[in-house]
Structure 1
Amino acid sequence: MKKSSIALAVVAALAVAYPAASWMSGKRLETKLSQTDKKDVLFANFKIVKQTYTRGIFSSKQESTIEFDIAGMSPAASPMSLQDQAGQDPQNPQDATDAADADPHQPEMPKILKPVQFQVVNTIQHGPVPGILGIAAGKIETEFVLDATTKEEIKRVFGDKKFIEIRTVLNYGGGGKLTISSPAVNTTVGMNQDKLDWKGAKLEIDFDAAYKKLKFDLHSPGLDVLAAKGATSVKVGEIKMQGDAERAYPDGFLYLGASKASIASMSFSNAQAANKGFSVKEISLESTTTSKNDLIDSALKFGMANITMNDTPIGNFHYDYSLKRLHGPSANQLFVELSTIDQYKNNPEKMLEMQQKWKQYGIEILKHNPEISLDRLSLTGKSGEFKASGKFQFKDVAAVDFETPILLLSKIESVGEVSLADAMIDELIDGTQTDPDARGMMRSQFYAQIEGFEKQGYVKRDGKVLSSKVSWKNGQLLVNGKAFPPKPEIDPAAAEAAAMEMK
């Protein structure tokens, strides 16, 4: 057989095989995209109201109307409010009378929020080679259906560009990558035609088939906004976020992993105002969450460098805290049940049953002595520093303590330290107050209060640094070992005289 004949045979075979492969990929995608996992708590507040799926050989279109239940996430669905409802019988005339005769001056209970609906259109290109993107089960381009007014407002900013592009590439083995991007624009906005330089943004999220493992990467060069007359400006530098997360439990909200986010700089200025604005550099946020023997440890570190207010350098700010020994299975199950609580609001018996379960979760959580720590709260200036640290925990909690909740207060233990340099007080006052008279008044008030606390022993001075140690144990608050608030001093002679009068 001639080579040309072999080549024609291969081409013919591919011409027949590829549409078949594409059709099969489309069939699998339709099955996957049309099903909804109602058991997954991540999607518990979403419901597909209407859906159509038009499948072709090489591409398909899915149109969905999705309902988001805001009420299920609102405070109105809290355990306390539902417990109150459980105590009322809608068939009892007395309950109805009490509701009608409620005090009109009392604040109204929040109204039930209506679910929000929105429409989504997915344009799907079938594999094996969807849109020349390599080997994949399919590529999905997602668009939200917007009303004419919203479209017009967006067009004023982005022109003919798509203000947001959402693309998902699905793998044959499950999982895929979601990419969300917004294009850069340099335009004018608002009635005053302020200048906007939005430098674009891109977010990529890799996920597995069960959304158990996530890996994300966000990047944006930032934005600048300049008022039409040039007096006011807002600038945001490069924005970055990277991290990974893995579900701690298949049916829960809790994720383990590490992430880091940063903003290179941020500033606001107003040349026409007395207070000219502020600027910050190197804003950072780091978090880590780990688990060992079902006990979860989580830590967060937040920092801002080179803070300046009204042209006055303030310094560097840090806020770090951590949570240790949180019993993961109990906390996870508690969060899961709270997320579905709305469906039981008209079932008092079920509500009481769930409340008993929450009590058991609480007992199990506190049994492991969880600890919340303020690891670092500080503001460091050129002349001194303010810093604080502390920790809060329950110790040796038993099931019987929950029968009398007031007993739980005696199981709380907390310790902390705080220190402040005199020079830092002056820096803060100078940086926040432009009026000299206001500065003098704040200084005199502050130092008068400090002097009173020093005399009582609640504040100690070491040179130009003020400090205090705070503790709470057995229901008593102590500051530098002294009860706070101070107990009134009793004159022995007056006490004896009062006793004689009682006799």
Structure 2
Amino acid sequence: MSKKKTVLGVLAAAIALAYAGSTWWAGNKVKSVYDSAFAQLPQQSALVRVTERSYERGFLGAVSTVTLELGCPADAAVAGAPPADTEEEDGEDAAPTPSRPLRLSFRDTIRHGPLAGGSLAAATIDSELLLDIKGQAEARKVFGDARPFGAHTRVGFDGGYASEITLAPGQFADEGKTRVSWQGAQLRVRVDGARTEAHYELALPGFEAADLRNGVNLKMGKLGARADLDIRHGWMLATGKSAGRLDALEFTVTGKKADADAALAKPFPAIVLQGLDAASDATIENGLYTGTATFKGTGSVGATRIDGFEMASSTRRIDVAGYRKLAEAWTRSAAANGCVRGKASQAALRALADQLAPDLKAMAKPGPEVGLDRLLVEIDGQRAEFSYSVAMAGVTDEDLQLPGNALLLKRGVLKANGRLPVKWIEKIAESASGSQAPSPEVAALMIEQFEQQGYLKRAGDDVTSQVEFSGGQLKLIGKPVELPAK
């Protein structure tokens, strides 16, 4: 054997050994991620459980099979909840038994890297929904010969991943009762290895639903959404920017009879919304969460054309640590998720509320605020506007010793403002009175009476009103209003 052949042989062996080592490493990493994810899943929600799981690992790949149970456990007497007494279950106070949990089984076919499925990656994963013979027959009724669900994931060497999840087009009909159809759906998700950044894109081409018994129809056009998020504080406190657009949304009621003996229902004016745009932005600074969201579009209600509407809301100064603790306790609670019945549920919820009360009151210290910053509707060149905010202000350590209701009365702040065109008031009065339309003079007299009583003010072609509660004092258009005695 020549020296050259010897060198090439050693090099080939080294490459093979390196590849084998990389494949072994990739296999270990992927299995570790699976083990960790499924171990944490039941701890995150009272509504998700892993009932069966297997992981068959080979050198070049693996197959993971898992069955998830979604919803309340089949036994309503959840461990850790106060037991329900027999009288309660048989008496008038007995609560309905939670619906039967749904079981779904998934199979992941995993190919280990570094050359996984023809690409340079730690692994690629193809996921599919497993159905028994009965389930397959039902799926064919809805999806035809198409595979109902599929997902392809590429796992990077840093632990990050990119997934593409698809739902096939389908339709479901319950003869004479309901009909639902959709044109498929696609979701792309990308998460970095450090689990600090995430990006997603959602596409839903169209959706329709109909209640055939009552003549109620909902039709949704193309929906698209995307987001770039910071998830270092968890998905519940994800920050960053997101945006979405819905081409059209139509809601109609034709007034069909619910049954043969029922009276003909009165048709409801068709609601059509078009060019709906939504956007949100959220940040966390100094341990406090701030988020804003907007929603706007055009449309019509019956024959009335809506030239434009816009809604803007905000959440400010929410303590991140406190919110996370409250949210996690709530999602893990069987009672909070409706899995405990009757008086046992009430007792469990009271116990949970007592447990979380100190954390909830502590969240008042930074001065949290939520509100509708602006709700604007424009019709025929005239605008109606409304806004409100609810907040806590000036809370001290001493205040935190007060009972919850006393703390709200002392430091709670409520503000609300409204503006409505006089012409709209005339139309509302006309609708309320039937065919007899009140004259503008009558509407003006009504407005004048309310103005004299201090409920509103006339401002040109509009009427305005303002309500404020702070420091335990209620004011209407700037004038104090005496609260009822305790």
Output the TM-score relative to the length of structure 2: 0.76
* 2:270 matched residue in structure 1: 277
> What is the correspondence of 1:35-46 to structure 2 with a 5 Å cutoff?
35-36=36-37, 38=39, 43-45=44-46, 46=48
Instruction: Name whichever of 456-465 and 357-366 sits farther off.
Output: 357-366
Preserved contact between residue 205 and residue 223 of structure 2 (Cα < 8 Å) = yes
* 1:415 matched residue in structure 2: 415
Is 2:244 the partner of 1:265?
no
Label 1:15 to 1:324 Cα distance change in 2 as closer, same or farther (>3 A).
closer
TM-superposed deviation, 1:127: 1.8
- Letter matched to residue 375 of structure 1: D
* 2:63 matched residue in structure 1: 61
Is 2:124 the partner of 1:139?
yes
Structure 1 residue matching 2:364: 3-state secondary structure: helix
Q: Alpha carbon RMSD of aligned pairs, Å?
A: 4.8
Structure 2 residue matching 1:367: 3-state secondary structure: coil
Preserved contact between residue 206 and residue 216 of structure 1 (Cα < 8 Å) = yes
* 2:366 matched residue in structure 1: 368
> What is the correspondence of 1:211-360 to structure 2 with a 5 Å cutoff?
211-223=195-207, 235-249=219-233, 253-268=236-251, 277-303=270-296, 305-342=297-334, 358-360=356-358
Gaps of 5+ in 2: 257-266
Instruction: Name whichever of 400-409 and 371-380 sits farther off.
Output: 400-409
TM-superposed deviation, 1:259: 0.8
> Percent identity, aligned pairs only?
21
Label 1:468 to 1:127 Cα distance change in 2 as closer, same or farther (>3 A).
same
Preserved contact between residue 165 and residue 187 of structure 2 (Cα < 8 Å) = yes
* 1:382 matched residue in structure 2: 380
TM-superposed deviation, 1:418: 0.5
The whole-number CA distance in structure 1 between the counterparts of 2:5 and 2:177 is 65
Preserved contact between residue 141 and residue 167 of structure 1 (Cα < 8 Å) = yes
* 2:262 matched residue in structure 1: none
The whole-number CA distance in structure 1 between the counterparts of 2:439 and 2:121 is 66
- Which deviations, in whole Å up to 9, do the C-alpha atoms of 1:22-78 show, x marking residues without a partner? 455334323332344645798444333321122233332111122345479x9x99x
* 2:35 matched residue in structure 1: 34
Label 1:209 to 1:386 Cα distance change in 2 as closer, same or farther (>3 A).
same
TM-superposed deviation, 1:179: 1.1
- Which deviations, in whole Å up to 9, do the C-alpha atoms of 1:450-496 show, x marking residues without a partner? 45422312111123211111111233332223455899xxxxxxxxx
- Which deviations, in whole Å up to 9, do the C-alpha atoms of 1:106-152 show, x marking residues without a partner? x43464666544322111122222222x2111111222223444433
TM-superposed deviation, 1:322: 0.9
The whole-number CA distance in structure 1 between the counterparts of 2:187 and 2:49 is 25
Instruction: Name whichever of 188-197 and 262-271 sits farther off.
Output: 188-197
Indicate the structure (1 or 2) with the bigger Cα radius of gyration: 1
Label 1:37 to 1:419 Cα distance change in 2 as closer, same or farther (>3 A).
same
Count matched residues.
Answer: 458
Label 1:162 to 1:289 Cα distance change in 2 as closer, same or farther (>3 A).
same
TM-superposed deviation, 1:232: 9.7
- Letter matched to residue 56 of structure 1: G
* 1:496 matched residue in structure 2: none
TM-superposed deviation, 1:217: 0.9
The whole-number CA distance in structure 1 between the counterparts of 2:11 and 2:324 is 56
Preserved contact between residue 286 and residue 302 of structure 1 (Cα < 8 Å) = yes
TM-superposed deviation, 1:391: 2.1
Preserved contact between residue 429 and residue 442 of structure 1 (Cα < 8 Å) = no
Structure 2 residue matching 1:360: 3-state secondary structure: helix
Preserved contact between residue 426 and residue 443 of structure 2 (Cα < 8 Å) = no
TM-superposed deviation, 1:333: 2.4
Is 2:468 the partner of 1:471?
yes
Output the TM-score relative to the length of structure 1: 0.74
- Letter matched to residue 262 of structure 1: R
TM-superposed deviation, 1:387: 0.5
Instruction: Name whichever of 3-12 and 456-465 sits farther off.
Output: 3-12
Question: Which of residues 115, 126, 148 in structure 2 aligns to 1:129?
Answer: 115
Label 1:315 to 1:38 Cα distance change in 2 as closer, same or farther (>3 A).
same
Preserved contact between residue 365 and residue 395 of structure 2 (Cα < 8 Å) = yes
* 1:404 matched residue in structure 2: 403
* 1:175 matched residue in structure 2: 160
* 2:190 matched residue in structure 1: 206
- Which deviations, in whole Å up to 9, do the C-alpha atoms of 1:187-217 show, x marking residues without a partner? 8966589999854332111113464422111
> What is the correspondence of 1:20-99 to structure 2 with a 5 Å cutoff?
21-22=22-23, 24-36=25-37, 38=39, 43-45=44-46, 46-68=48-70, 70=72
- Letter matched to residue 402 of structure 2: E
Preserved contact between residue 71 and residue 113 of structure 1 (Cα < 8 Å) = no
Preserved contact between residue 41 and residue 336 of structure 1 (Cα < 8 Å) = no
